[in-house]
Structure formats: C-alpha cells, structure tokens
Structure 1
Amino acid sequence: MTATGILEIEAKGFGFLRQIKSNLNRLPNDVFIPPPMIQEHGLLAGVELEVTAQQEKDGKVRAQSVQAIQGMPPAAWQAVPRLEDLPAISPQKPIWLEREPTGHSQRLVDLFAPLGEGQRALIVAPPRSGKTMMLQHIAAAIAANQPEHQLYVLLLDERPEEVTEFRRSIRGQVFSSSYDDNLGNHLRLAKLVLEFVKRRTEAGKDVVLLIDSLTRTGRAFNAGQQGSGRLMTGGLDARALEVPKRIFGAARKIEHGGSLTIIATILTDTGSRMDDFIFEEFKGTGNMELVLDRSLAEERLYPAINLRSSSTRREELLFGEATVAHQKLRRAINDLPPKEALQKLLKLLAMFPTNAALLREFSK
C-alpha cells in the first residue's frame, strides 16, 4: 500500500506521518517511520512523504520505502538547500488585499502598511480592537487575490468557536490547538507547523502563515519551559521565547526562490506584565506593523487602525511608481489625531471606488 503524510519526528528518532486533513493530530493509524529510514534519506520534520507501507501483525502500519519527498525523487530533494542557507532579500512583490470598494480594512492596509511576499508582519492589538476580524479579512483577501499562494493559519490557545469561524470564513488550511487542548499539543503543533511551512518554502512555493497570536504562543512555551533558572519580567522564563522567535523569524523572501510570509497578531495593554514583555521582545523584529487602536474601536470606528503608527519598511519596493502619491497621502494625515485621520481616510475611500483612483488624485 502507498501512504502519504507530513513527517513528525519524535525525540527518540523515529517518526510518524500526520495528516493535514486531521489537523496534524496524533492518530492510532499513523504510519510509523523507522529511524534508519530517517537517517538514510536525511529526512527533516515537516516534509511531505510518499511511502510504501505494510500493516504489521500488531495492526500498526510501518513504512517500507520512500517513494517521494516534497513531490520529488529522494535524491532530488536531498539536493535542495535548507531555508537558513538560502539568500533572503527584502519583500519586493506586493500582496495586494484590495478586492472591492467596501473592503476598507484591506484597502487601508494596502495604502499604509502594504504586504509583500516574504513579509514579517505584526498586527499590534489591544483587547477588543478587532484583531481577529482583521486577520480574517486579510486571509480572505489573500485567498481571493493570490490563489497560487499556499495559505495556512495557526491558532493556539484560542476559543473553539473562533477556530470554527476561521475554518468557515477562509479558503485555507487552519491548524488549531484550542484552549481546551493540552499544553503539550500546543507546543508540538507550533513546532511542526513551523517545519511544515519551511519545507514548502525551500521547495520554491509561496507560502503565507497567519498566527493568532504570538502572545498566546509565548505564554504556552513559557508554561512548557523546563526552566533555565532565570526568570524575567512577569514570570517569563529567559528561554521561553526561543521557539516563538524562530517561528516569526522564519519569514523571508528567497532570492530567485519561494517566500514565507508570516502575519501574526500580538497583544498589548492587557494588564499582564508577561504580555507586555512578550510584546517588547517582538517589537521591531518585523518589517511591517499594523497598529490597532482600542479607543477607535470603542467609538465603533472600524477598521480601528492607527494609520500614523502603521507602516512597512522599504515600502517603496512595493509601491513602485506610486510611492510619491502614497507619501503625499500619508503627509495629509500626519498632523491629525488617530480618530480624525481614520475618519478622513474613510471619507476618501467612500469617494474613490479604488485605491488607484484615490492615488491618482494625490499624484496631481
């Protein structure tokens, strides 16, 4: 028999093939991959394997030989460089979100904090500022405008109903470990999804990973940390953020290759010293920040984006010839308080059916 799946390697050196359609969960009938097979082919966690397999007398299924790795012959895959060894460049190809005149969230992101292939983007959000809805809008726009991109969502320690809402609202694969799952599952899923998207990027694919949220991911790894003997602000272990930083830091555009775009939410102003420290550790590590404002959300001004605080590094690479018009637009709101700036832009979006039409007005 032939079997396919995503390889998860256990601490003792053996592995199992997990199924994407089953949320990469551990299942009794997962195909067993013996250590010699992993060593022979230099297999890495997260690769998609096609193997011949046989059911043993005890009912378990064991791989007999490797037929393909990431859709390639084993020898061809072994020649593929690892993500960390590939040259990374600044995002240059835009991922435009604009779909329709009424999509204000997507249009404002395009105008003030554009996304590009390989972006490392933070959505900075206080509680009840609309971060989950913003992430869903971004996911829906990417799925519609860039169907060739492979879209994945990682939800850790989220409410089960939000997981269901995500699965129903976007055309992408949602990996989730909700708050009623155990801590060990949070940690293994986060690590496996990281390796999974890295393997796809190494193979030349354009991958987008949305994470909600880095704060909860950091909390989970802090709770699961064995202890370095050194506690930091708010009870955070000194090594707790090593894996979350590796996850977020994996985003990059490979020169003449694929891309891994990561868009992650992070919480602020929660009243938790630990959350504040997690935010400070990630602040400035991205190359795009979209800042949400709770005061705008409380006045029912959506999307509650603080336009002056939101930006993308090297935005001129994405804006191209329209850079001057974008700069004029930003200067038009630079001296305004967040509320007035957002109200002015919402009026402009209502006046002009597309961002292109709006920018033409500012290029005169």
Structure 2
Amino acid sequence: AILVAQGGEPAPPAPEIDATDVSGAPESDDSAAVSETDDAERPARRRSRGGRSRSRRATEETEVATAAGDEAEAVEEQDRPRRRSRGTRAPRAARSEATEDTPARAEPATDSAADDKQVEGVVELVGNGSAFIRLPPEADGDDVYVSAAQVKRTELVPGDRVAGPVRPPRRSERHPSLIRVDSINGRPADEVSEGTRFEDLPATYPTERFELNSEDPTVKAIEWLTPFGKGSRVTVVGPPLSGKTEALVGLADALRAIEGLEISLVLAGSRPEELALWAEHGLTPVGTASLGASAEVQAQVIEQAVDQAKRQAARGAHAVLIVDSVEQLQLHAARRALGAARAIVDGGSLTIVASAPIPVGGETTIIALDQALTALRRFPAVDLAASGTLRADLLVGEAGAEAIAKARAEVLL
C-alpha cells in the first residue's frame, strides 16, 4: 500500500507453500553434507560389526519382529477386559445398597444348643474303629455316631453303656454325633479311661484250660495233646493246604460253646471262599482285609482288632481273638500282635489264636499241622513232633503233662 501511494508497483504475492507437501522441497546444503557423511561412515560401521551376512541379518530381524509381536499381543491381552465366569458384578455403590436392604442371614446354631439333649445306649463297634450308640426302641431319635478318636480315647468296647450329649447331623452327615462321653457303665468316663495301661498290668502263665468238648478229631487232639487256656498265645502253623483255616473254624465253634468268653474274629489276607466259610459258621469279623491288600493294611486291621480285645480284657472280660492270618505281616508286626495276649493277675485275659506258615516267636502253644496227613485225609492231622505247650502242667496237671510227653515220645520213636 505504501508503494502504491508513492507511485510504485506492488510486489508480487509470495507463493503459498503446502505444509503437507515437503517432497519437492530442496534439501539444504547441510542436509546433503550430513547424508554424504552417513554414506561414508556406513561401510565403516558395517565392517566394525564383523561383516554379518544378509541371511543372518534377516534371521535376527525375524526374531526381533516375532518378539515384538508377542510382546504386543501380551500387552493387548493385559489391556483387554477380563470376562467374568459368574456374571458381571454390580457397582460398589449398588452392592452397598443391596447389602443394606437385604436382611442378614441367620447364624447357624452352635453345638451348645445340642448339649441339652442327652442320650444313653449300648456301644456297637464298626470295622473302621468308630462306633454307634444303639438307642432303645422307645427312645426318640436315630442311633448316635461315635468317632474312632473318642472310642480309642475312652477305650470303649462292645456292650458298654455310654451316656453323653449329642449334636444334630451336619450337612454331609447322616446321623447325630456324640459330643463327648460323660459316663461308661454308670462310672465317669475319666475314671474308666485313666486306669492302668494294659501293657502295665501284671501277667501270669495261663492256668485255666479251655475244655473244647469237640467231636472233630483234629480239635480233640489239640485239646489233649497241645492244650491252651485263658491268656495263651497260640499259632496254628503249617504249609499251604495243610488245613489251617479249617482248624481255626473248628476251634472257634468249640470256643463259642464256652460261657463267659468274648470271641471276635479278624480276617487278613483270606481267600474269598474262606470268607464264605466263616459266614456259614455264624462268625462276623470285626475287621477284614482282602487277599490283595498290602501288608500295611492287613497289619492295621489286625491291630485295631487287638486294641479292641485289649480293652475288653482290661475291663475284666475274658476275650478271645481269632486271626486268620498273620502270614503277610512282617515278623515284628506279627509278634507284636500276638504278644498282646496274656492272663492278667486277678483280672481278665486275652487269648489270641492265629494262623501262620511258621511260628512267629513268643507263643505259649504251637499247633503244627501235617500237610501230608491232610492231603490223605488222615485226621487228626497234627504234627506232634513240631507241636507243644509251654508249662502244660499248669493247664492239665503233672499227670496230664506226663501223658502228653509219653504220646509225643511214641510218635518220635
């Protein structure tokens, strides 16, 4: 405008330059110099890196690209909102309002409310060491479950009359459970369980012989030639097919006819056919381990049966435990089980009669069976040379012991 006012010509307008179109812009001299410098230095840098081949560079570039892609996918996965398998949660404020509007759930009833209900009944042990309190028919409610820990702690035995508080069954339970044992046979449970340990009770040699009065020839020979009595440790030994189980069945039948005995049976490693044989004779085992059970399982089953019989003997009962068999047990385990048998001074007794392939040690009576006689069905199949009774004179007197020694001598000579 000034030039026009002064009479001059206006300068031509400057051309507009598009900011986005820079491809046609000429490079400055400085840029060209830098490019020439980079081109000159690039071969030197390549040579300083050891002259890697194109294939190696391509491999490295592929690995870097793959790693970058994996990293990008990982970041994307983290940024992606997670799905909720249980539905979408409401906002915190909504949840707070719902919590305030919803009445609180009632707390489950505690066991203290069940303490008021007392039961009293007779103990019946089951195979796993636990028990049930069988209530009389006129009682209101189901039989009460007693845990194995309570049975062992209070040393309960079959036939004990127990009283105590119970609680109702919980969600996964079928029977009410005993909370604690208050009394056993009318005595406080603490007094009964705090008695002298069975192992500490004084023992003596068996002096009361069992009069079997059986017509079975093998059992009759055992009664007179290898006698045993209350508190004896007896093994019926012999090789396979010598008739050990049949001899045990005959002894059990004869012992059941004697009054005042608490007889129990445990089967460990028995054949299925032998299980049926025992059932035919009316004996239900207190514990069973199948033929394929491990030695540890068989030892555990026998130990539980022995513990039960020990508690009976400690109460003054005369218990008899028949074990068929200890064959799969290790020697020390079989000896420990058999060693529990004893006659308690001025008390009860525990007699154990077990079958085994060979004597285990510590027996007071060994009844050896002859396989050849059994195969020929020549009974009695007792091997008198391998059989014997420790201190037989205490059971049958001096005259009886002399008669046994004479019969054995006749066989050996």
Q: Does TM-score exceed 0.5, indicating one fold?
A: yes
Correspondence 1:157 to 2:308: no
Q: Which residue of 2 aligns with 1:148?
A: 260
Q: Any idea what SS the aligned residue of 1:98 has?
A: coil
Q: Any idea what SS the aligned residue of 2:180 has?
A: strand
Q: Is the 8 A contact 2:289 2:297 kept in 1?
A: yes
- The equivalences for 1:3-82 within 5 A come to 4-6=123-125, 17-18=130-131, 31=145, 33=147, 42-44=153-155, 50=162, 51-60=164-173, 61-69=176-184, 72-82=187-197
Q: Which residue of 2 aligns with 1:251?
A: 341
Partner of residue 124 from structure 1, selected from 237, 250, 272: 237
The alignment of Structure 1 onto Structure 2 pairs a total of residues equal to: 282
What is the deviation of 1:80?
2.4
CA distance 1:188–1:306, change in 2 (3 Å): closer
What is the deviation of 1:329?
5.2
Q: Which amino acid aligns with 2:200?
A: D
Correspondence 1:265 to 2:355: yes
CA distance in 1, matches of 2:266, 2:224: 26
CA distance in 1, matches of 2:374, 2:148: 53
Bigger Cα displacement from structure 2, 55-64 vs 244-253: 55-64
What is the deviation of 1:57?
3.5
Q: Is the 8 A contact 1:124 1:290 kept in 2?
A: yes
What is the deviation of 1:182?
7.1
The answer to which structure, 1 or 2, has the higher relative contact order (CA under 8 A, 6+ apart) is 1
Q: Which residue of 2 aligns with 1:303?
A: 380
Q: Which residue of 1 aligns with 2:219?
A: 106
Q: Is the 8 A contact 2:237 2:369 kept in 1?
A: yes
CA distance in 2, matches of 1:103, 1:328: 21
CA distance in 2, matches of 1:8, 1:161: 20
CA distance 1:332–1:74, change in 2 (3 Å): closer
Percent identity for Structure 1 against Structure 2: 25
- The equivalences for 1:192-341 within 5 A come to 192-216=304-328, 218=329, 240-268=330-358, 279=359, 282-283=360-361, 285-320=362-397, 323-328=398-403, 330-336=405-411
Q: Is the 8 A contact 1:46 1:193 kept in 2?
A: no
CA distance in 2, matches of 1:34, 1:143: 28
CA distance in 1, matches of 2:181, 2:240: 48
Let me know the Cα RMSD of the aligned residues: 3.3
Q: Any idea what SS the aligned residue of 1:52 has?
A: strand
What is the deviation of 1:167?
2.4
Q: Which amino acid aligns with 1:73?
A: P
Correspondence 1:92 to 2:207: yes
CA distance 1:7–1:66, change in 2 (3 Å): farther
CA distance in 1, matches of 2:356, 2:208: 25
What is the deviation of 1:97?
1.1
Q: Which amino acid aligns with 1:265?
A: S
Q: Is the 8 A contact 2:238 2:356 kept in 1?
A: yes
* CA offset digits 1:274-305 (Å, max 9, x no partner): xxxxx5xx13x101111111121222212310
Bigger radius of gyration, 1 or 2?
A: 2
Q: Which runs of 5+ in 1 are unaligned?
A: 10-15, 22-28, 219-239, 269-278, 342-364
Q: Is the 8 A contact 2:263 2:319 kept in 1?
A: yes
What is the deviation of 1:214?
1.3
Normalising to structure 1: TM-score of the pair? Answer: 0.67
Q: Is the 8 A contact 1:143 1:171 kept in 2?
A: no
Q: Which runs of 5+ in 2 are unaligned?
A: 1-117, 135-142
Q: Any idea what SS the aligned residue of 1:334 has?
A: helix
